Amino acid sequence: MQTILITGASSGYGLETARHFLANGWNVVATMRRPNPEVLPGSDRLRILPLDVTSDESIAACIRTAGPIDVLVNNAGIGVAGVFEVTPMAHIRKVFDTNTFGVMAMCQAVIPQMRDRRSGVIVNVTSTVTMKPLPLAAAYKASKQAVDGLTQALVEELAHFDIRVKLVEPGYAPTTRFTHNNQIDPMALIPPAYEGFAAPILREFGAPQKTTKEIQVAEAVWAAVHDTAGQLRFPAGDDAVEFARSRI
């Protein structure tokens, strides 16, 4: 029976992915900054472990406790929306610490065991923001675009050891906790000079025509994990599929 480790599994995409794999017979290691056993059904195939992907010590302790990992899903992330000019650099660094360097650190932590076994899958969850130049999401896009590039490079670097590396690209999900995890009110990052430009974009954010459901991301992760045909990108959600068709 295979084991999957999912980061950021306390809510949203990560939680639904943990539920999906658990329901399909996998051993699941659901990691969270603040573990909450109530969010997942009790099972002898489930372990909930603390993990802060920005802490080397936390990562090392988690990997030691988790034991052999067949699949790593890098899902943990935080957001930032607003005008780049006034976005505090301290918050941008925090976004990169989680969204980019956290992914890199987790990959480095699991690659040695996968390399030794000559098997394994790494799934990096990015976003449709990597598909188009979306204003008011510059820092967030940059953090996810870096993971896109990392993943492309690792595909060939790790194929030599029979490790598969995949990208899951969710669209916009207004109902997830992640949407509210910006930690800075976007309106506080809209200076007067940008109000006319930003207003229609913010209205679209508030009432999107198509969105992504959490189960669609879980199903995309499932498809990515089981793909052996060499597909790299797995858009997740109606809006993501539409974005992917018009990728520039």
Quickly list H helices, the chain.
12-23, 56-66, 89-96, 102-117, 138-159, 195-206, 214-226, 238-245
Q: Are 123 and 166 in contact (CB under 8 A)?
A: yes
194 as an active site residue: the answer is no
CA 25 to chain centre: 22
Quote the Cα angle for 217-19-227, to 5°. 50
Q: Which residue out of 13, 140, 172, 194 is catalytically annotated?
A: 140
76 contacts: CB under 8 Å, gap ≥ 6? 7, 8, 14, 31, 51, 53, 98, 102
- Tell me which residues are annotated as active site: 140
